[in-house]
Structure 1
Amino acid sequence: MRSSTESRALEFFFHKSSSQLSGFFEGSFWKVTVLQLSLVEPAIRQAIAAIGSLHEHKGGCKLLPSFNTAGGEPHPAIQLYTRALRSTIEKSAADTGAIPVVVVASILFTAFEFLRGNASAAASHISNGINLLWAWREKTGSRPRVPWGQGYSSFQSYFVETELAPILSLFNLNSSEFHPGTRRKVLLNPVDTGLLILTDRFESLREVRVAMVDLVTATAAVFQLLDQNLKLGKLPDAGLLTIISGLRQTRDRWKTNFDDLVRRQSATWDKNEQDAAEVLRLMWYSTVMGTTTYRVGSECAWDEHREDFEEIVRIGEKIVSDPDRYPDELSKTLCLDFGLLYPLHAVAWKCRWPHLRRKGLDLLRRMPRKEWWYEVSHYHDVFLQIMEFEEACVDPHEVSTTEDASIIPEHVRVHDFYTEQTSTKANGCTLHKLTLLTKPNGLDGDWHFTTEDLWLPTPPQDGDTVSPFNLFCCKDWAKAELSNTQTVNLVTKAVLGPEESPGTSSDDSFHGKRSMLMAPILKPTSASGFLQVSKHDLAGAELPRHGPLYHTRAKSITLFLRMTKDYGILVFETTLDLKQLTNKA
């Protein structure tokens, strides 16, 4: 029998929390699926009640201590959460076929920890969910073989792949910078001999988003591989460069197909669908900002992106100002559906037009207070301090009357920053040390480090939070000091394409054909971490670096890089005749 506390929390969840967590794309899960499952699964009922109870307190700006200071009892939200965890463990142990329900629970537990502010626990639940998704695919043999949303062998597989996997994949992508590389990655569209197979053309907005999340996930995996190889002193070979080039082509073709969907269907869309399309445009601008980070040779080069900054502000203003979506402060407690922080990261920092920059800062102040586990107010305060640092050399009157980015000279512009949390606390805030990196002696000069105090609001919480960091920070492979300028330029050109534009490809042959993410690698040319096999010279073979070689009594064996397991990306595969191997003396 449920308690009055649980009943109240459930009512709050369904009247308030579910709508906020649904966002633009996941209403079916948060408004329908969890309601239906809560009627028959105690773990799901307790988990959503825990979210509702916690949301009510967080939304009311109340503190949530781990224990009630008067009676020593855990807060009701913690009690419900603990019961949900226990019920999930019991369900998993008693029913080996309960993977879909346990995955649902993992998503709910992750949302609870995002709201609670416990990054490590949220990361753990994401890992569990991803591992369960892999286990489900292996158990049912349901690795994607046709484009997402099509051809599932059972209703359960359809449910797992179309309702649960997109949420897990998005969570995984947007939290990957915390303990990077420790979690498996998953793609929702099929991969066949290095090819990511997308549908011939998009027919729904969710399909568009899934394709983009797949694309960014694959890019992150390849960038991670580049970094790993760099640490081993290995340069990218022709095969890997082909993969990277394929990523760029697919990104451009995604934009072409999205624009095609808008032309065909936008006249029939309701307000929510129109807004969802704007969110997808924002995702596109996020990729533009992300790739620009690898292109610019100076901070002043960002000044060429004013139109991009203006479009990000336009879309952000439209979203944040919507009274239907954000009628009050409670509705701005947490966002799990889309990322506004990342593109505003560019506007509030890399945009030096005074008024436009301040619009970006204002949007950070007014948008949902938390995206996944990122505290948005912390980034607002960091970028405000960076702006004040850069504008300190300019006449205040000129800043207020001139809309000209060039008033901020290159030598004072902040190229990078990092923060370090201290143990000093006062008035509900924690002291951080904000270090700003500049090039006062020219771009070829040494880095100059300026460290300032930064007080950030830090409410009591269980577990650890993620201190603000540079979301635009280039990976190691793109840093000339860790590789060399020639290598960086080579890979960057493959990633971004022609120097003049990171924009849309004009390749009209895309329609009606498969979209290529990774071209097949038929003959890797050097030791890049890929399996390299020659039937004429087995002595030259390089075994997989990411997993064991499986032994078998079969007549032939397929050897492949363990990236299939670790990243969900099949990069290279070859089948060898064991008789040939045995006879090679």
Structure 2
Amino acid sequence: MPQFLTQVIEFSSLRKGVRYGSKVKTGCITCKTRRIRCSEEKPSCVKCTSTGRNCEGYRKNKGPVRHKDVQNPAQRSITQHESPAQTVDILAEYGDGLQYLEFYHHCVGRTIATTFDSNFWCNIAPRMAQSEPSVRHALMALGYFNKATTGSLKNARLSDERHETLFYHYNKSVRSLIERMKQISFDPEVGLVTCVLFVCIEFLRGDFITAFTHLQNGLKMIKEWHYRRTCRQPPKEGERPKLRAIVHSALESNDTMTELVPLFFRTTTVALLFGVRAEKIVEISPAIPRRFQFKPFHDVWEARAVSLDFQNAALIFTRDNSPRVFPVQPLTGEALKTQESILESHRSWRRAFEAFERSTTLSPAEQITVNELKAGYHCTYFSVSCITWVEQSGYDQYLWAYKEIIEHTKFVFDAKGLPERSPPTLTEPLLVSKPNGYRGPPPREGSVRHEKPSANFSFEVVLLPCLYFVIQRCRDPVTRREALALMERNPPREALLDYEMAAIAARRVIEIEETTLDPKTGWPVEQTRLWHGVVDGTIDSDGGFWIMFSNAYWIAGGGPQNEEEEYLCKVPRDPTDFRGRVDSQWQEYYKLGD
């Protein structure tokens, strides 16, 4: 039986030396707005044309220039940049691998990319692949796996023996990178680009341990690059640079680092959702910079960059301060200060963002981004503000926020052309019991999966946590079913988060909570409401996974008070699909559909 191995690269040190000159004030409009040094050729500078950007020329008068990032969707094959003799050598060396590189060029890059990172996936990585074998083989592996899988976690977890091509090119990329790092001409950008591709491959495979190991190594590499960039001495033991300072260094450097550094920190959000303590590598501040508190943002890219700090800080805060002892204890004085700092940062960001919206006309792509940012704002703000609430009826006052999240998400899904799906009716059964612990939604009109030429997958987490937050905290039966219908429109899997798994969990959450309804409101009573329904990220080869549930009424009182309360929610007793505990939690087993 063949065995396939992957390695995790440790970046021990970077090449010394200053590679970047001081800023110039006479550059082209595009370079000045991107805050990089312009090469100043006329009529179009090489800095722009070599990266596929549109050079907007030069202007005599001084004044603010609105950022405009023109993307070049046309991708060219590696063989189009070589001489005929070189092309023959390349075809002989890479063989069938070139078809997967071509597939990446034409299909994968544009489906993986989001508004913020399309230049990386569609321009930077393919261009670097022309000269760097590690990047070239990583793109071949990524192209192959996107073509060979659907994008669902169940499909990703099939036996690795079926994907020899993936591991061939993956391991070739690893070995090429190791050899490249030994050379004096090694550029840290090569290591970081390859690292991003490794993380993406592991996200697709559903291997979060290896993915986050690569991510942490990339963050360490960025940290070291930042210290060299700022001409500082090596950091002391335990010293961490601020995320905000690193992003500033990247914006002041060359074009590639300007794209790479924010991409790494957006990916850090995924790691934080899985409990990775990325803040041990870089300092993530809960406070928004004062310069953004009283003026509108320049563009949506700036708005997203500013939100990185405090939204990631919000995830850290909820992870570290979610109640673990019951009855729930109040937050400490220090935690209260952090909570208020995070909430005030959200409010300041919202004021600046609204001012930006009033002062500009948004393009269709920017409108999608704006709705994604607003949905994320509501999710993190209310998660932080209500962190110690055990009585779930308190969340009912935020129905307007849940409706806004749904409205923003629907706008995004409609704009992306996802297939429509009507919400389940109030009388429709939410789960259908089947043998071996399987529970899934009953077949309904419009449930056919929307097929794409490559895996239905995106690299970043954007909207799935927002929809699941609505499902867990909104008890209005109509509104939460609208959120469920959005989950089931078959959006691309977001990094390691699978919409199909989340939809099964959401249906079970609704079913449990609606066991008993208030006769006046038609909403679930407090006794049946859940504290949480957490999906285990691990999935077996049969597509099976576990969901942990916890009843909020038990937690508020410190545990079940009698036998009647102990099994109030009528959880299953079959040991093949149920794990009970002595406290208020239990687990249930489910399987993904075929």
Interval containing the TM-score (normalised by the shorter chain): 0.5 to 0.7
Show the counterpart of 1:29: 120
Q: 55-64 or 118-127, which moves further after superposition? A: 55-64
Q: 254-263 or 169-178, which moves further after superposition? A: 169-178
Shift of 1:147: 7.7
Distance 1:270 1:360 in 2: 26
Report the 3-state secondary structure (helix = DSSP H, G, I; strand = E; otherwise coil) of the residue aligned with 2:533: strand
Show the counterpart of 2:267: 171
Shift of 1:347: 1.8
- The CA deviation string for residues 252-308 of structure 1, in whole angstroms up to 9 with x for no partner, is 10111111111111x2x2211111111111121122332244153411112111111
The one of the two structures with greater contact order (alpha-carbon pairs below 8 A, sep at least 6) is 1
**Which residue of the other structure, out of 445, 451, 463, is the alignment partner of 1:329?**
451
**Which residue of the other structure, out of 42, 45, 50, is the alignment partner of 2:141?**
50
**Which residue of the other structure, out of 495, 504, 507, is the alignment partner of 1:384?**
507
The 5-angstrom pairing of residues 328-347 of structure 1 reads: 328-330=450-452, 333-347=456-470
**Which residue of the other structure, out of 329, 352, 355, is the alignment partner of 1:260?**
355
- The CA deviation string for residues 50-76 of structure 1, in whole angstroms up to 9 with x for no partner, is 1111111123876753224xxxxx521
Change in CA separation of 1:152 and 1:217 when aligned onto 2, cut-off 3 Å: closer
Shift of 1:344: 0.6
Show the counterpart of 1:522: none
Asked whether the 8 Å contact 1:419–1:435 carries over to 2, the reply is no
Structure 2 unaligned blocks of 5 or more: 1-89, 232-240, 420-448, 561-565, 567-583
Show the counterpart of 2:588: 453
1:66 aligns with 2:160: yes
- The CA deviation string for residues 502-551 of structure 1, in whole angstroms up to 9 with x for no partner, is xxxxxxxxxxxxxxxxxxxxxxxxxxxxxxxxxxxxxxxxxxxxxxxxxx
Shift of 1:111: 0.7
Structure 1 unaligned blocks of 5 or more: 69-73, 399-403, 460-585
Asked whether the 8 Å contact 1:146–1:197 carries over to 2, the reply is no
1:217 aligns with 2:312: yes
Change in CA separation of 1:300 and 1:96 when aligned onto 2, cut-off 3 Å: farther
Q: Which amino acid aligns with 1:302?
A: Y
Q: Report the TM-score, using the length of structure 1 for normalisation.
A: 0.65
Distance 2:182 2:593 in 1: 38
Asked whether the 8 Å contact 1:165–1:188 carries over to 2, the reply is no
Report the 3-state secondary structure (helix = DSSP H, G, I; strand = E; otherwise coil) of the residue aligned with 2:415: coil
Distance 1:293 1:107 in 2: 35
Shift of 1:169: 0.7
1:138 aligns with 2:227: yes
Change in CA separation of 1:227 and 1:96 when aligned onto 2, cut-off 3 Å: farther
Asked whether the 8 Å contact 1:429–1:457 carries over to 2, the reply is yes
Distance 2:457 2:210 in 1: 17
The 5-angstrom pairing of residues 435-450 of structure 1 reads: 435-439=549-553, 443-444=556-557, 446-447=559-560, 448=566, 449=584
Q: Which amino acid aligns with 2:268?
A: N
Shift of 1:152: 6.5
Shift of 1:5: 2.3
Asked whether the 8 Å contact 1:348–1:360 carries over to 2, the reply is yes
- The CA deviation string for residues 207-243 of structure 1, in whole angstroms up to 9 with x for no partner, is 1111111112334556677799x9xxxx998777555
Show the counterpart of 1:291: 384
Change in CA separation of 1:418 and 1:84 when aligned onto 2, cut-off 3 Å: same
Show the counterpart of 2:187: 98
Show the counterpart of 2:546: 432
Shift of 1:144: 7.7
The 5-angstrom pairing of residues 333-372 of structure 1 reads: 333-372=456-495
Change in CA separation of 1:293 and 1:90 when aligned onto 2, cut-off 3 Å: farther
- The CA deviation string for residues 338-367 of structure 1, in whole angstroms up to 9 with x for no partner, is 421111112222212112111111211224
The 5-angstrom pairing of residues 176-575 of structure 1 reads: 176-181=272-277, 184-186=280-282, 196=289, 198-199=291-292, 201-220=296-315, 242=337, 244-265=339-360, 267=361, 269-294=362-387, 296-323=389-416, 328-330=450-452, 333-394=456-517, 406-418=522-534, 428-430=542-544, 432=546, 434-439=548-553, 443-444=556-557, 446-447=559-560, 448=566, 449=584, 451=586, 453-457=588-592
- The CA deviation string for residues 154-213 of structure 1, in whole angstroms up to 9 with x for no partner, is 643x532x2111111111122224353266344699x9xx98465564202111111111
Change in CA separation of 1:437 and 1:150 when aligned onto 2, cut-off 3 Å: closer
Alignment identity in percent?
19
Change in CA separation of 1:393 and 1:456 when aligned onto 2, cut-off 3 Å: same
Asked whether the 8 Å contact 2:243–2:309 carries over to 1, the reply is no
Report the 3-state secondary structure (helix = DSSP H, G, I; strand = E; otherwise coil) of the residue aligned with 2:210: helix
Distance 1:280 1:139 in 2: 33
**Which residue of the other structure, out of 237, 249, 256, is the alignment partner of 1:159?**
256
Q: Report the TM-score, using the length of structure 2 for normalisation.
A: 0.64
Q: Which amino acid aligns with 1:59?
A: T
Q: Which amino acid aligns with 2:543?
A: C
